[in-house]
Every structure is written in structure tokens, then in C-alpha cells.
């Protein structure tokens, strides 16, 4: 049998088993970040396919593939960075600022934690970020909007590949006094975004691979919208019972049990019972993904 048939068949079987274990709850996560670090081994596998297309040595490529996926699944030990490696930044804003705009662009892998800072004292208004990622910062204001952005630069990406396969820890604290619009562009995104105490209007997330928990609250500003664009994504939505929600999937492979969780199918969307009522807190969620798993959790 030819090597590429063996390798491709093995890859489909193993990846299918990983997704099955994940969906059954036996495995809590799929090791995307470890696979990113092990990408040179896939070049080795391709080389073995070319050198040994037939014969007994044709089994080398699928064997190396299985070993690679096993190492990724078990985990790779990494050297933790000390807190002295963290980059800390705060954004003081003038008192006439009523809105905030957060933009993060071009990060390779990030473990994101985003929440409101409960210790802000009026009239102090600011945003803060603590991260091991060194990028290009921009901050300022336009009219009544405070602008806070971080974008990738070449040396920070190289630092990631050399030292930190597990991703950049990124702790973001936002002022609850502002109405926020957020745009996060991260190649591989993992973490929790807690909007329960954040006044917000829109959240856009663009990612190749994402594993995110989004906790919503009653601080959203109508019309509130969440748009998640991802190649492969798993999203846990934690929604208060008092909030009405509409989820619109735009994906060929959509794994969910939304109807069992209290939503009903309406055209191309899934809606909560009172979504179309004139009153009440509402949020629209659009999932644009190649493969998506959506988990809906109702919270108090």
C-alpha cells in the first residue's frame, strides 16, 4: 500500500477519534496549541512519504504521525516565564469619554482573560492589559471614544515560536463606566471572556481555532451583537435567564443541542421564547465557522 494512503487514512481516523472523545466529554480539549508547536514534524512526515512511497518503510510516515498526535495530546512541557516578562499597560482617559474601543490584531496564540475591573473608582476611567506579548500599542481618543489597540510585530511573533508554545497569557481589564466595542483577531484563541459587568455593544472574534467561554450579563447595550468567525471553534455561552438570545450558525458542521436547552428553530436561527418581544435584554450571536460546537448554559 502506498504511504500517502496510509498517512491520510491514519490522520482521518485519529482526528475523528479526538473529536469523538471531546464531544463525549471524555477529553476536555483538543490540543491545538501543541500541534502548532509540533508543525515541523509534519514536514518530516511529508518527506517520509516522498522517500518511501511503497514497501515496509511506507509505514514510517503514519507511525511518526501517530507519535506526533500522541505527544500533542499528552502535552508538551514548557518553560514558564516569570512575571517580570509581563508587559503592563494602562490607558487613562479623560472624563468626557463615554465609549471604549478595544482592538487586538495578529496574535499567534493567546490565553485570553477579559473582564471588568471592579476596583475602578469614579471618576477614574481606564483600561488595563497585562500580557507576555510584546507588540505595537496604540492608545488615544476620538471624540468621545477611547481607543486602545495592540497589534503583532515580527519580533514578538518570533519570541512566541521560540519560547512559549502554550500561548501568550493576556489579562484584559476594562472599565465598567464605558460602553465597549471589541475586536479580537487571534490565530489560536483560548480562554474566558466575562462580559457580565462590562457595558458593551459589539464583540467580534476572528480566529483560526478557538475554544472560548463567553459569560454574558445584563449590561449589554441594545442592539448587542457577537460575531465569532473561526475555522474550527468551540464556544460555551453562559447566558442569564433574564436575557433573550438569538443564535445564527453559518457553518456546514454545527454541533449543538440548542433545542434541548430551550431555544426554538426560527428560519436559519435558534431563538429563546421571548426574543421577539418588544422589551427585555437581547443579544444576537452569529457563528461563522467551518466546524463549530456550541454549548448553551443558563445562569442566574
Q: How do residues 38-48 score in pLDDT, each as one tens digit? A: 667 777 777 77
- The set of residues, in sequence order, having a beta carbon less than 8 Å from that of 142 and lying 6+ positions away, is none
pLDDT for 45 equals: 74
CA distance 43 to 21: 27
Classify burial at 240, counting beta carbons within 10 Å of its beta carbon; exposed 0-12, middle 13-18, buried 19 or more.
middle
Structure-model confidence comparison of residues 256 and 81, the more confident one: 256
Q: Residue holding cell 426574543?
A: 275
Q: Above 80 in pLDDT, residue 68?
A: no
Structure-model confidence comparison of residues 154 and 30, the more confident one: 30
Closest CA to 125 of 165, 180, 82: 180
Q: Is the dihedral of CA 137, 101, 299, 232 positive or negative?
A: negative
Q: Roughly what angle, to the nearest 10 degrees, separates helices 39-51 and 3-23?
A: 150
Q: What are the strands, taking DSSP E only, across 41-153?
A: 87-92, 99-116, 126-131, 136-142, 145-151
CA distance 188 to 286: 19
pLDDT class for 251, splitting at 50, 70, 90? confident
Q: Above 90 in pLDDT, residue 176?
A: no
CA distance 51 to 46: 9
Q: Roughly what angle, to the nearest 10 degrees, separates helices 3-23 and 60-74?
A: 20
Closest CA to 91 of 170, 134, 150: 150
Across 29-33, 65-69, 191-195, 294-298, least confident range: 29-33
Across 85-94, 152-161, 213-222, 260-269, least confident range: 152-161
In this prediction, residues 192-199 reach a mean pLDDT of 92
Q: Above 90 in pLDDT, residue 153?
A: no
Using left for φ > 0, alpha for ψ between -120 and 50, and beta otherwise, residue 25 falls in: left
In this prediction, residues 242-259 reach a mean pLDDT of 86
pLDDT for 76 equals: 47
Q: Residue 258 — φ and ψ, nearest 5°?
A: -65, -35
Across-strand partners of 138?
A: 149
**Helices and strands counted in the chain (H then E):** 5, 14
* Among 20-29, 98-107, 197-206, 215-224, the range of highest mean pLDDT: 197-206
Amino acid at each position: 500500500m502506498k504511504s500517502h494512503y496510509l498517512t491520510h487514512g491514519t490522520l482521518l481516523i485519529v482526528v475523528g477519534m479526538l473529536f469523538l472523545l471531546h464531544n463525549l466529554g471524555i477529553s476536555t480539549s483538543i490540543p491545538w496549541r501543541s500541534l502548532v508547536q509540533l508543525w515541523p514534524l509534519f514536514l518530516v512526515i511529508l518527506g517520509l512519504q516522498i522517500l518511501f512511497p511503497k514497501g515496509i518503510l511506507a509505514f514510517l510516515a503514519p507511525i511518526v504521525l501517530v507519535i506526533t498526535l500522541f505527544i500533542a495530546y499528552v502535552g508538551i512541557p514548557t518553560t514558564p516565564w516569570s512575571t517580570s516578562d509581563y508587559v503592563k499597560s494602562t490607558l487613562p482617559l479623560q472624563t468626557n469619554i463615554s465609549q471604549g474601543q478595544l482592538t487586538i490584531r495578529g496574535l499567534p496564540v493567546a490565553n485570553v482573560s477579559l473582564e471588568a475591573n471592579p476596583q475602578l473608582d469614579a471618576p477614574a476611567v481606564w483600561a488595563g492589559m497585562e500580557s507576555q506579548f510584546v507588540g505595537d500599542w496604540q492608545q488615544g481618543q476620538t471624540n468621545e471614544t477611547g481607543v486602545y489597540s495592540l497589534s503583532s510585530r515580527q519580533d514578538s511573533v518570533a519570541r512566541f515560536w521560540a519560547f512559549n508554545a502554550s500561548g501568550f497569557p493576556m489579562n484584559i481589564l476594562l472599565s465598567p463606566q464605558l460602553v465597549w466595542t471589541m475586536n479580537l483577531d487571534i490565530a489560536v484563541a483560548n480562554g474566558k471572556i466575562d462580559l457580565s459587568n462590562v457595558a458593551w455593544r459589539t464583540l467580534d472574534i476572528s480566529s483560526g481555532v478557538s475554544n472560548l467561554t463567553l459569560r454574558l450579563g445584563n449590561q449589554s447595550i441594545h442592539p448587542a451583537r457577537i460575531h465569532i468567525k473561526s475555522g474550527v471553534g468551540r464556544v460555551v455561552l453562559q447566558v442569564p435567564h433574564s436575557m433573550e438570545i438569538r443564535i445564527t450558525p453559518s457553518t456546514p458542521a454545527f454541533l449543538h443541542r440548542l433545542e434541548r436547552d430551550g431555544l426554538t428553530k426560527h428560519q436559519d436561527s435558534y431563538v429563546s421564547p421571548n426574543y421577539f418581544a418588544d422589551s427585555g435584554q437581547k443579544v444576537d450571536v452569529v457563528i461563522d465557522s467551518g466546524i463549530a460546537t456550541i454549548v448553551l448554559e443558563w445562569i442566574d
